[in-house]
Each structure stands twice: as C-alpha cells, then as structure tokens.
C-alpha cells in the first residue's frame, strides 16, 4: 500500500501528544517497534520506542517546537540504520549520521531541522577493483572488492550480512558511484540481489562475526602511564572516569591521536562544540606516527554536542559502534572513543523521564546497567566472517557528578570494563598530567600483553613494571606519615622510596600532551626510561646501606639527565639511555669510593 | 499532496487563535482543554478578566489539552474568564543594533527604560539553533583582563565560556565588573558590546553594574536584561535566552565582539527546578530535573566564533555555589559544559585578599591555544605550570606546618611556606582598578618562583630560568 492509499483508508498514524522529544501517535498498529519514522512535512526523523494498544511512542531526534497534534507520521519500514560504505573516513556526522559538512552547505552555520539527503555522498566517484569473479560462491562478509578510500585505508567492499549465493555478474575495475550496481548475486533460493558499494545496517544490532578471540596484543597509545602501567589490549574495554577539569577529553584526544589502531571512531557525545572543532582543526595537520599520513585519513567523527537534540545523543553511541564494527569486519583494528558515556546515560534518563517510567537509582532507568553492558560487549577481538583478524577496542569517558565514583554510571561501567583509568582532581589541580591516579586505576590485560613486551623490548619488562608499582604503593603508605611528621622525620631507607617514587611520578608517569617530543613515547623508550629510573633507585640502596646521606646521591649530575630524558631523547634511540645507565653506575661508584676514602682517612 | 494541503491551511492561521477558560492552575503552570491547532513550544498570551496580558509558552500538547508555563506567574488568574491566545510561533525577540545597545529590558525583552520596543529587524527565535561544529572557528585570541590569576594562569580567550564559581557574599560582581572594564586584546581594537543578563539578582547589584558601565563610559555599548529578585521566577528561564539571542545577532550579523555576563545561574537553575516540580517530573540529584545538563548546555554552548564571520560571543556566567560546595549539581554540571572555571575562595577573602581567586581548582581549557610565542610570551605555559605545581606543593607544606609547626619544616619546605604567602599577597592580590599587563604578570610569576631552590623548578627549562628568572630576580633585588 502506498502512503496515499493508507491515507484514504484513514490508516496513517497521526501525532496525538508532544512533550519535548517524546511524541505519541494514533494508529500504532501499522508501525513496528524500533521502526524509523518521519514526522510532518519537515520530515523530522524519529524512532518508535514503544507500542501499547493502538498508541505508538516515538522519540524524535530533532527539536519538536511547533509540532501539532494531527500531524502525519510516515513509517520507513526499517529500524534506525547506518549507511556503511566508502565516504565514512575523514567525515563528521551527527548522532543519526547526518553529514555535518553537507548540512553546513545546505543550511549555513547553524543546524536546522529536517531530513537531508543521505549520510554518504551519492555523487562521489570511487575506483573499485574486484577481488572475486563471476560464478564464485560467496557468503556474507566476504570481500567482493576494494576501494582505496584514503592513502591509509583500503576500504573492503563486503558481501552484506545475510546474503549468500553465487556471483552472477561483477563489475570490472573502474569508477563507480555508490548507487551503481557492482555485482549481482543469485541466492540459493534463486533470487537476484544487487550489490552496491554501500549497504545499510540497523545500529542497535551487533554485526555478525566468525568467532571471538582473547585479546593479546597491546593497543599502544604512546602514553607511558597507560602502556606500561595500565595497558589496554586490542579488542579490550576501558573507562576513563573523572570529574570536570581532570583531563578526560585531553586524554581521549591523546588516545585518538596516537593509538596504534587502523581506524579511529571518535564520538563526541553531549560534549562541547569547540572540542569537536579542535579535533577538526588538529587532525588534518597531525601525522600518524606509523603511516606518516594525516590522522584525519583514519578517523571517523560523530559529533552530537550538548546543545544538539538529546534523543540523537542517545543514538550517537550506536551509530559510532556500528561504523566501528563495519571496519572491524574488513580486518582492521578499530579504536572507538566515546566522550562521554555519562551524557549518553543522561539522555536515557531524560527520555525515560518523559515516558514516565519508574526510575531506579538517581532517576536513571532500571535498564541502564543492561544497556551499558550491551554496549561494552560490542568490543572484542574477532575472526571475521571472511577469516580476517579484526578488533574493536572501546574507550568510554565517564563524567561522574561531583567526581564521585560511587554514582550509578561509573559503578555499572566498572562492572563491564577491564581497564579503569581513574582521573584524579588533586593531580589535575597541580597540573600533573595525565592525571591518572596510579593507586585507583587497574588493568586486567597486564598478563595478556606481557609476552608482547618481552618480545618487543626485554624480558625484564614485567619485573620492572611490578617493581615500580610496588614503590608507588609503599610511597603512598609513607606519605601518610609524611603528612603528619614531615619528610625529615623518616630514615634514609624510607626516604629512598619517597625519592624513587618522585622520580617515577615526575620523570616517567607525568607526560606533556603539548610537548612535541613527549606527547608520544615509543614502547622501547618507555622501557628504557623506566629501566634507567629503576636502576637508579636500586643503586640508591647501596648509597643508603653505606650510610651516605641520601641528598648526596640526589645531587649527582645524572639526576638532572634523568629529569630531562623524557623530553630530550627522541624516537627509538637506545644509546642515550645506555649512557645514562653507565653514568649512574660510575657516579654512584665514585660516591661510594669517596665516602670509603673519607672513612679510611678517619 | 494531501498532507501538504492540510499543513498549508493551518499555516494561514492568523496568530492569535483564542480560547477561553482554564481547567487547572498549579504553580506557574496552567492546563487548558478543548483546543486544537496548537503547536509544541508555541508562545501564548494569557489575558485576564481585567485585560492584563501575561506571556507564556506551551510545555506539552495533546489532541485536547495543553500545558502552559506562565512567565509572569499565575497569581490573579481565574479559571473562567482568562482568555488564552496562541501565537502560532515560538518565543521571539526582534533585534537590531541601534535599538538594543544602550538600553535596559526586562527578562522577556520588553523595554524598561521608557523607550519603544525594538521593531526593526527580523524576529529571532530565542531558543536559537546549535552552531554546526564544522562551522565553528577554534577560539585562540588572548584577551588581557589585567588580572594576574586569570591572564597568567587561567587565560580567557575570545569565544570562550568561562564562569565564575562564587559563594554568597564573595566579590564576584566586582571581579566581573573589573573584567568588563579592563578586557582587551593585545593586538587590535575593534567594536565590542556587553550584554548583561540578570536572573533573580537584587536591585542594588543590578544598579552597581549599571553604574560601573556608566562610569567607564561603555553604557552605549551595553544592553541589560533584568529579571530582579522580586520579578516572576519563571521569567528567569527566558532571560538568558533573550540576552544570548541579542548577543548572537550582534556578534554574527554585526561583527561585534560580545561579552555576555549571566548572573546568577544558580537562580536560573532554581527556577527550572520549581517548574519541573510543579510538572510532577521525576527528579534526579537534589531535586533538579534530569535534563539540567542539556538545559544548561543550550545556554552555555551559545558562545564561540564562526569561520568567516567577524564577531564572537564570550560568556562569563556567574554562579553562587550553594554552601560553597563545588560538587553541588549546579557548579558541577556547569563545569562539565564550560571551558573551565574561575573559583573564588572564602578563605582567601577572609584573609582580605581581592580578587579571592583560588587558582588550584580554577582552570581555563582553552588556555594552551591562546598563549605562547606570538600570542603572549614563549615562557607563559611553563611558568604557569610551575606556579601551579609550586603553589599546590606549598599548600601541602602549609598543612604540614599546621601540624608540626613552622619551625620544624625543612629548609626547602620553609621556602615553599614563604612562597605561598608571597604568592597570595603579591600575585593573587591586586587592586580593583589595577590593570596589570600580561608581561608584568609573567615577570611577577618569575620573581616568585625564583624564591624556591632552582632544583625545584622542573617545569621550566634552564634557558628560561636564565632568561626570565635571573633578570626578574635581580630587578627585584635592586
């Protein structure tokens, strides 16, 4: 039945109630759950989120000002979907995948309402090279051919999920737009399916894969406190909770700049407009340390800033993860940053409130935990349907009210993530960045990634790391005494711990995002920097054992070298570190010898 | 086809569809039944039996009934004789440069100075539209406020939203006035305007602002929107939006650099809570509605710069933290949206220090892009970071001293102890009309950190110590 026919039969849903983004409609029986709808002549996009009797409840992804009861609603016959194909990389979309650059061309500098074209450009021409030929039997997820989307990303054109059959026709190498048919597949049932360069996928449904694997490779970020202390594995999950001003967003930006993933999906979910602008200004200029190509050539941006409609904010997380899964299915390692999941949870709460649902903790709906779990479960390392290895790593920022980690979103998130990078207000107010609290944070991937570090750096890696963690923990205990009595009151062997911890904190963990050398630290450099510091701390023990005052050792010129190492030594050069190691030994030995002489004289 | 026709007939409906009689009056809300052709968010006028007009808007609408929010309060309305006129349009403000600058309006944009209501120019929806992130230009022009704690350590840039977190009785208004008076760019002079929106503030506070604008001779570049303490509560929800609509017009159509002062956001949030409660909404923290974040964002995000356009909107919202608690939902959610915060401290105020800015919890997120070589000075980032680190450490030393006594501190700690006092008395403290240049501020910072042993200065480079530290120190000695 066409819409006109439906109308004649009096069978078109009409708006009966409007309150903010929540709209109720009559004749709900012709709509289905989660179906996408368009409301009124402005074609406001919405989604059916409830059906009861003949009343449909719809959440509208745009401002509903001026919407009147009696307005018509047109069902789209499918759930909220994302368009997946060439044209995603380097682009910025809103929460329901409207292309923001095109919106600006159409409407100017302010975002208006209503439907615009499609997410991916239909005019742009892509060079397609087939990988499969006529007559081959294919199943979903297989690679039909490729399009070089950017210098860094070869976009693989997949047989869409749920399509299996024989290739009846396939286009030769050449230039095609998204709408052109590049292949026809005859299904086992004898039906012909036309394949284009793109396909659609409902965002709330995880995309299928072959099988899951345990994460084993670190997702390197160049951030020492993360890579060495609290590593994340490819396909793993992490949360960054922290009150305002503790550096969540700077950390997220650092990760999206330097993480060694093939594709980055960055979701600005209910955050500041200027931050997205910052990403858009920086990323075309910054180079990926591995490929030497601009970072924007591997990045997909989703921006639903805090002043954009709240319902689209709820959807933005799903749009983002669906795009991430799509690149995973092409055999890529994808890292997804969601800043911030708390804003997404608040969007859930806001809509839930308007639906007059029974609230659970702090007004959040009772299904908050299950939604969070379902989201983090979409991360993972998998073998794809076409037997490639791919992964989605998920890093969610959490913005706990008042910096209180016992609130519902932080608490539930903690249950579903393996890595917890707790940001600390006190560290941040001393401008100590990244303000990751090394006592509250944890990572369950240390054992999983240790073999990688053995192989790439040195078998001593885990030992050094554990020793450093231990020193920091002892230091934390001693600090309680220091607070009461002052540092002077401690004996030298305990002050050695304090000095050691200070070195680890200032010269290893602290890392400047704004220093051109320090902003990214290679794994080898991380290892040697830690080795130098731990070696010095070990040698301090000799000094203390000989009853030489500790400050004499701290005045050695090599200490200054250690202080400057993180910003002065570039790249993967290990020679300068070998020098420092030698200098430590020679200077400490000298110190010991001098004191021995002095004693002999006496 | 058919639906287009339906829509176009209703489009033709003249503004002023009228109904009579109210079904329910509860707090600032009114329910009216038996209506049709009314849209969500539409502006309404309620006409009392005595022909007095009150403004309002539609909060929720169904086929038969509408929930209205009345800005002037519902007191004196009766159920039978009140007429409701639906205007068919959202709340709008007519804006033109000549008709708003130098004037005073109510929170709803009605003239308070005896002049005529603006009538030239386009009516603009006071809710505004979100700026497309693609269209935004990244704020990076340093604004010199002449206040060391801001310029040196929490730099303000054009297009930023930087609130003042204060407490009742603290001199936040003096600080805001001083910023308005002294703020300027290092590089150029250009046309500027100040938009002042008061929400539930006292008469004398509003008057103090007016007087200071007059004294500094900027009154002709100021538009004031006043919702005072005894004005209707619900009007507070519209006042900042009207003010920002004017600000956006002046910035993005007229190319002016607009500084918007919003005070006091705490009163705004309380008005929001009041309305939410009368609607019977599910409350979240401390009774505030769950959408407080989104609602505040729809105000604060209306700051910034746009590529290819001259002007900018810079916001300085002021809020008083209830019970000086920074974790209270109002400062907390504000801090998550704004690009930093300037935090005033009762302890410093009681020591007699003005401005009592506590730099440790204060922050400017856009600072790093607005400072450095070519903008302020090459050493700005490092000296600021060094001051932070030193002052944070000094505060710990102070805590220690309060336990073991000042005499028992180590030599280094004693230096930190003195540093802390000097920092507060010389760097933080300044007169209400003292306008320090950024270079004076930075040199002063150097002079102070040089009081510490050189090995403690790990955030600055040895070259910088040589170049700025040593000279600052000697000039002090002379």
Contacts with A40 from chain B: Cβ below 8 Å: 7
Cβ neighbours, 10 Å, residue A353: 23
Mean pLDDT of B82-96: 91
Cβ neighbours, 10 Å, residue B3: 16
Q: Which residue of B has its CA nearest to A554?
A: B455
Assigned token pair, A468: 């450093």
- Residue pLDDT, tens place only, A519-556: 999 999 999 999 999 999 999 999 999 999 998 999 99
B134 in any annotated domain: yes
Mean pLDDT of B144-158: 95
Strands B340-343 vs B363-364: parallel, antiparallel or unpaired: antiparallel
Cβ neighbours, 10 Å, residue B185: 15
CA atoms within 13 A on the CB side of B313: 29
Q: Does one domain contain both B120 and B180?
A: yes
Of A65, A306, A488, the CB nearest to B410: A488
Domain boundary among B60, B89, B118: B89
Per-residue model confidence (pLDDT) at position A28: 86
Whether A246 and A430 have beta carbons less than 8 Å apart is answered as no
Indicate the pLDDT class of residue B354, thresholds 50, 70 and 90. very high
Per-residue model confidence (pLDDT) at position B279: 81
Q: Which residue of A has its CA nearest to B400?
A: A483
Contacts with A410 from chain B: Cβ below 8 Å: none
Per-residue burial over A383-399, b if 16 or more Cβ lie within 10 Å, else e, is: ebbbebbbbbbbbbbbb
Q: Which residues pair with A193 in a beta bridge?
A: A185
B225 in any annotated domain: yes
Q: Alpha-carbon distance A306 to B207, whole Å? A: 34
Contacts with B291 from chain A: Cβ below 8 Å: 310, 346, 350, 353
Q: Does one domain contain both B267 and B295?
A: yes
B221 in any annotated domain: yes
Per-residue model confidence (pLDDT) at position A1: 43
Indicate the pLDDT class of residue B248, thresholds 50, 70 and 90. very high
Mean pLDDT of A51-59: 91
Contacts with A363 from chain B: Cβ below 8 Å: 282-285, 290
The alpha-carbon gap from A170 to the nearest alpha carbon of chain B, in Å, equals 38
- Give chain B's length: 478
- Residue pLDDT, tens place only, A482-522: 888 888 889 999 999 999 999 999 999 999 888 889 999 99
Whether A93 and A303 have beta carbons less than 8 Å apart is answered as yes
B375 in any annotated domain: no
Q: For chain B, what is the mean pLDDT?
A: 89
Contact across the interface for B36 and A70, Cβ inside 8 Å: yes
- Residue pLDDT, tens place only, B24-70: 998 889 999 988 889 999 999 999 988 899 999 999 999 889 999 99
- Residue pLDDT, tens place only, B362-400: 999 999 889 999 899 999 999 999 999 999 999 989 998
Cβ neighbours, 10 Å, residue B215: 11
> Kindly report the CA angle at B113 between B110 and B119, in degrees rounded to 5?
45
The answer on pLDDT for B331 being more than 50 is yes
Per-residue model confidence (pLDDT) at position B418: 95
**Locus of tokens 């100040």:** B194
- Residue pLDDT, tens place only, A285-296: 888 877 888 999
Q: What domain count does chain B have?
A: 3
Per-residue burial over B391-412, b if 16 or more Cβ lie within 10 Å, else e, is: bbbbbbbbebbeebeeeebeeb
Q: Which residue of A has its CA nearest to B409?
A: A486
Whether A562 and A503 have beta carbons less than 8 Å apart is answered as yes
CA atoms within 13 A on the CB side of A457: 26
Indicate the pLDDT class of residue B9, thresholds 50, 70 and 90. very low
CATH number of the domain residue B33 falls in: 2.40.30.20
B3 in any annotated domain: no
How many cross-chain Cβ pairs, A to B, lie less than 8 Å apart?
232
Mean pLDDT of A56-84: 91
Q: Which residue of B has its CA nearest to A39?
A: B3
Phi-psi region of A382 (alpha: psi -120 to 50; beta: other; left: phi over 0): beta
Q: Does one domain contain both B98 and B80?
A: no
C-alpha distance from residue A517 to each of A294, A525, B378, B440 (Å) = 18, 12, 17, 30
Contacts of A534 (CB under 8 A, 6+ apart): A464, A467, A468
Per-residue model confidence (pLDDT) at position A286: 85
Q: Alpha-carbon distance B163 to A295, whole Å? A: 33
Contact across the interface for A486 and B90, Cβ inside 8 Å: no
Q: Alpha-carbon distance B325 to A242, whole Å? A: 18
Q: Does one domain contain both B59 and B136?
A: no
Of B40, B131, B393, the CB nearest to A65: B40
Per-residue burial over B219-253, b if 16 or more Cβ lie within 10 Å, else e, is: bebbbbbbbbeebbbbbbbbbbbbbbbbbbbbbbb
Whether B257 and B190 have beta carbons less than 8 Å apart is answered as yes
Q: Alpha-carbon distance A171 to A146, whole Å? A: 12
B2 in any annotated domain: no
Whether A328 and A388 have beta carbons less than 8 Å apart is answered as no
Assigned token pair, B258: 């607009």
DSSP code per residue over A272-315: -HHHHHHHHHHTTTSBPTTT-SBGGGGEEEEEE-TTS-HHHHHH
Indicate the pLDDT class of residue B343, thresholds 50, 70 and 90. very high
Strands A380-383 vs A333-339: parallel, antiparallel or unpaired: unpaired
Per-residue model confidence (pLDDT) at position A367: 95
Q: Alpha-carbon distance B370 to A229, whole Å? A: 33
Cβ neighbours, 10 Å, residue B80: 8
Per-residue model confidence (pLDDT) at position B188: 62
C-alpha distance from residue B32 to each of A262, B21, B27, B49, B84 (Å) = 58, 7, 14, 16, 9
Per-residue model confidence (pLDDT) at position A10: 63
CA atoms within 13 A on the CB side of B456: 21
**Locus of tokens 């206040």:** B147
The answer on pLDDT for B4 being more than 70 is no
Contacts of B110 (CB under 8 A, 6+ apart): B117
Least confident interval from A498-502, B8-12, B80-84, B455-459: B8-12
Contacts of A426 (CB under 8 A, 6+ apart): B392
Per-residue model confidence (pLDDT) at position B254: 93
Domain boundary among B344, B369, B394: B369
B421 in any annotated domain: yes
Of A24, A273, A349, the CB nearest to B136: A273
The answer on pLDDT for B71 being more than 70 is yes
**A187 interface with B at CB cutoff 8 Å:** no
Q: Does one domain contain both B241 and B261?
A: yes
Q: What is the DSSP letter of B457?
A: -
Q: Alpha-carbon distance A133 to A554, whole Å? A: 70
Of B130, B291, B361, the CB nearest to A350: B291
Name the A residues in 429-468 with CB < 8 Å from any B CB: 429-432
Q: Does one domain contain both B359 and B389?
A: no
Three-state SS letters, A436-453: ECCCCCEECCHHHHHHHH
Contacts with A506 from chain B: Cβ below 8 Å: 458
Mean pLDDT of B431-439: 94
The answer on pLDDT for A363 being more than 80 is yes
- Residue pLDDT, tens place only, A206-230: 999 999 999 999 999 999 999 999 9
Q: Does one domain contain both B276 and B230?
A: yes
Q: What is the DSSP letter of B324?
A: G
Q: Which residues pair with A389 in a beta bridge?
A: A383
Termini Cα distance of chain A:
108
Q: Does one domain contain both B72 and B173?
A: no
Quick one: CA torsion of A114, A22, A306, B270, rounded to 10 degrees? 140
Helix, coil or strand: residue B348 = helix
**Locus of tokens 């078998």:** A459
**A277 interface with B at CB cutoff 8 Å:** yes
Record the pTM.
0.90
Q: Which of the pair, A373 or B181, is modelled with greater confidence?
A: A373
Q: Alpha-carbon distance A53 to A37, whole Å? A: 19
Q: Alpha-carbon distance B273 to B251, whole Å? A: 31
Contact across the interface for B301 and A305, Cβ inside 8 Å: yes
Contact across the interface for B294 and A346, Cβ inside 8 Å: yes
Whether A161 and A141 have beta carbons less than 8 Å apart is answered as yes
Q: Does one domain contain both B294 and B178?
A: yes
Contacts with A99 from chain B: Cβ below 8 Å: none
- The H or E element that residue B347 is part of is helix B346-350
Contacts with B398 from chain A: Cβ below 8 Å: none
**A52 interface with B at CB cutoff 8 Å:** no
Per-residue model confidence (pLDDT) at position B478: 35
Q: Does one domain contain both B99 and B118?
A: yes
Strands A419-420 vs A237-241: parallel, antiparallel or unpaired: parallel
Contacts with B327 from chain A: Cβ below 8 Å: 401-404
Contact across the interface for A363 and B282, Cβ inside 8 Å: yes
Mean pLDDT of A584-598: 92
Contact across the interface for B133 and A280, Cβ inside 8 Å: yes
CATH number of the domain residue B304 falls in: 3.40.50.12240
Q: What is the DSSP letter of B425?
A: I
- Its domain, for residue B467, covers 380-477
Q: Alpha-carbon distance A61 to B458, whole Å? A: 50
Q: Which residue of B has its CA nearest to A26?
A: B63
Assigned token pair, B185: 């760019």
Contacts with A4 from chain B: Cβ below 8 Å: 1-2
Per-residue model confidence (pLDDT) at position B189: 64
Domain boundary among B315, B347, B369: B369
B182 in any annotated domain: yes
Whether A425 and A268 have beta carbons less than 8 Å apart is answered as no
- Residue pLDDT, tens place only, A302-338: 999 999 988 889 999 999 999 999 999 999 999 999 9
Q: Does one domain contain both B72 and B149?
A: no
Whether A208 and A385 have beta carbons less than 8 Å apart is answered as yes
Of B128, B138, B335, the CB nearest to A278: B138
Strands A442-443 vs A419-420: parallel, antiparallel or unpaired: antiparallel
Contacts with B7 from chain A: Cβ below 8 Å: 40-41
The answer on pLDDT for B98 being more than 90 is no
Per-residue model confidence (pLDDT) at position A63: 87
Q: Does one domain contain both B233 and B101?
A: yes
List the beta strands (DSSP E) in B264-413.
304-306, 312-320, 340-343, 363-364
Ordered alpha helix ranges (H), A137-247:
224
**A10 interface with B at CB cutoff 8 Å:** no
Per-residue burial over B462-475, b if 16 or more Cβ lie within 10 Å, else e, is: eebbeebbeebeee
Q: For chain A, what is the mean pLDDT?
A: 91
Of A103, A347, A403, the CB nearest to B132: A103
The answer on pLDDT for B3 being more than 50 is no
Contacts with A268 from chain B: Cβ below 8 Å: 133
């Amino acid at each position: 039945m066409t819409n006109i026919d439906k109308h004649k039969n009096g069978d078109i849903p009409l708006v009966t109630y409007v309150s903010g983004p929540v709209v109720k409609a009559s004749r709900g029986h012709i709509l289905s759950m989660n179906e996408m709808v368009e409301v009124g002549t402005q074609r406001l996009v919405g989604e059916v989120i409830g059906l009861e009797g003949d009343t449909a409840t719809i959440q509208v992804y745009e401002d509903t000002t001026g919407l009147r009861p009696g307005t018509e609603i047109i069902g789209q016959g499918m759930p909220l979907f994302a368009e997946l194909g060439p044209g995603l990389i380097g682009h910025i979309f809103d929460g329901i995948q409207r292309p923001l650059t095109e919106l600006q061309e159409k409407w100017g500098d302010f975002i208006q309402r209503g439907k615009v074209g499609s997410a991916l450009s239909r005019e742009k021409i892509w060079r397609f090279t087939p990988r499969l030929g006529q007559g081959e039997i294919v199943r979903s997820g297989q690679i039909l051919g490729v399009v070089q989307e950017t210098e860094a990303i070869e976009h693989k054109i997949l047989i869409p999920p749920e399509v299996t059959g024989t290739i009846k026709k396939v286009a030769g190498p050449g230039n095609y737009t998204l709408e052109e048919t590049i292949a026809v597949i005859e299904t086992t049932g004898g039906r012909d399916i036309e394949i284009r360069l793109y396909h659609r996928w409902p965002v709330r449904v995880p995309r299928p894969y072959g099988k899951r694997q345990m994460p084993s490779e670190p997702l390197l970020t160049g951030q020492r406190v993360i890579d060495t202390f609290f590593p994340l594995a490819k396909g793993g999950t992490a949360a960054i909770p922290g009150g305002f001003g503790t550096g969540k967003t700077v950390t997220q930006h650092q990760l999206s700049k330097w993480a060694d993933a093939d594709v980055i999906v960055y979701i600005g979910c209910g955050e500041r407009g200027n931050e997205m602008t910052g990403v858009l200004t920086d990323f075309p200029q910054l180079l990926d340390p591995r490929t030497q190509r601009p970072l924007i050539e591997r990045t997909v941006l989703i921006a639903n800033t805090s002043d954009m409609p709240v319902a689209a904010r709820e959807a933005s997380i799903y749009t983002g993860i669906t795009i991430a899964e799509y690149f995973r299915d092409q055999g890529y390692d994808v890292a997804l940053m969601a800043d911030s999941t708390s804003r997404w949870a608040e969007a859930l709460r806001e809509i839930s409130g308007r639906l007059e649902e029974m609230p659970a903790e702090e007004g959040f709906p009772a299904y908050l935990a299950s939604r969070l779990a379902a989201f983090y479960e979409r991360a993972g390392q998998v073998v794809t349907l076409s037997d490639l290895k791919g992964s989605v790593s998920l890093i969610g920022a959490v913005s706990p009210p008042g910096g209180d980690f016992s609130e519902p979103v932080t608490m539930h998130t903690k249950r579903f993530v393996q890595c917890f990078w707790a940001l600390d207000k006190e560290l941040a107010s001393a401008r100590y960045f990244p303000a990751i609290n090394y006592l509250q944070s944890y990572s369950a991937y240390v054992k999983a990634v240790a073999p990688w570090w053995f192989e790439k750096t040195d078998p001593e890696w885990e030992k050094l790391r554990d020793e450093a963690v231990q020193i920091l923990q002892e230091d934390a205990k001693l600090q309680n005494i220091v607070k009461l009595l002052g540092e002077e009151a401690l004996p030298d062997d305990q002050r050695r711990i304090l000095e050691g911890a200070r070195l680890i904190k200032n010269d290893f963990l602290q890392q400047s995002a704004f220093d051109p050398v320090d902003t990214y630290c290679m794994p080898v450099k991380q290892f040697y920097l830690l080795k130098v510091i731990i070696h010095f701390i070990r040698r301090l023990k000799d000094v203390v054992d000989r009853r030489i005052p500790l400050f004499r050792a701290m005045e050695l010129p090599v200490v200054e070298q250690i202080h400057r190492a993180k910003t002065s030594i570039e790249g993967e050069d290990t020679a300068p570190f070998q020098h420092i190691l030698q200098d430590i030994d020679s200077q400490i030995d000298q110190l010991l010898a001098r004191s021995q002489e002095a004693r002999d004289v006496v | 086809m058919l639906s287009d026709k339906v829509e176009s007939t209703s489009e033709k409906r003249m503004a002023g569809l009228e109904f009579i009689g109210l079904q329910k009056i509860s707090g600032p809300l009114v329910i009216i039944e038996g209506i049709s052709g009314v849209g969500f968010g539409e502006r309404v006028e309620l006409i009392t039996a005595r022909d007095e007009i009150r403004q309002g808007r539609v909060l929720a609408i169904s086929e038969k009934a509408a929930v209205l929010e009345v800005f002037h309060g519902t007191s004196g309305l009766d159920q039978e004789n009140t007429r409701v006129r639906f205007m068919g349009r959202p709340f709008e403000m007519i804006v033109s440069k000549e008709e708003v600058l130098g004037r005073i309006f109510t929170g709803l944009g009605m003239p308070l100075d005896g002049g005529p209501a603006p009538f030239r120019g386009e009516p603009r929806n006071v809710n505004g539209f979100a700026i497309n992130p693609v269209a935004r230009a990244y704020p990076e022009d340093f604004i010199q406020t002449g206040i060391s704690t801001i310029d040196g350590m929490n730099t303000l840039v054009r297009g930023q939203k930087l609130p003042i977190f204060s407490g009742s009785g603290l001199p936040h208004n003096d600080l805001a006035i001083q910023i308005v008076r002294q703020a300027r760019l290092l590089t150029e002079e250009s046309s500027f305007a100040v938009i002042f929106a008061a929400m539930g503030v006292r008469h004398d506070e509003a008057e103090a602002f007016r007087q200071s604008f007059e004294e500094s001779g900027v009154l002709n570049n100021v538009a004031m929107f006043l919702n005072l303490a005894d004005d209707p509560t619900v009007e507070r929800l519209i006042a900042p939006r009207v003010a920002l609509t004017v600000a956006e017009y002046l910035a993005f159509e007229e190319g002016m650099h607009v500084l918007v002062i919003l005070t006091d956001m705490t009163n705004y949030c309380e008005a929001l809570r009041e309305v939410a409660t009368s609607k019977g909404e599910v409350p979240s923290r401390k009774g505030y509605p769950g959408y407080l974040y989104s609602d505040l964002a729809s105000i604060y995000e209306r700051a910034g710069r746009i590529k290819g356009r001259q002007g900018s909107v810079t916001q300085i919202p002021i809020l008083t933290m209830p019970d000086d608690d920074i974790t209270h939902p109002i400062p907390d959610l504000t801090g998550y949206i704004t690009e930093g915060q300037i935090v005033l401290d009762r302890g410093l105020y009681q020591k007699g220090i003005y401005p009592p800015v506590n730099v440790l919890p204060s922050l400017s997120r856009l600072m790093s892009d607005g400072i450095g070589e070519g903008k302020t000075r090459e050493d700005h980032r490092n000296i600021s970071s060094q001051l932070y680190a030193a002052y944070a450490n000094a505060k710990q030393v102070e805590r220690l001293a309060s336990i073991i006594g000042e005499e028992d501190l180590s030599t280094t700690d004693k230096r930190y102890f003195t540093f802390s006092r000097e920092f507060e008395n010389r760097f933080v403290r300044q007169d209400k009309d003292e306008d320090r240049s950024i270079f004076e501020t930075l040199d002063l910072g150097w002079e102070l950190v040089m009081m510490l042993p050189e090995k403690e200065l790990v955030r600055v480079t040895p070259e910088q110590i040589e170049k700025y530290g040593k000279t600052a120190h000697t000039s002090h000695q002379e």
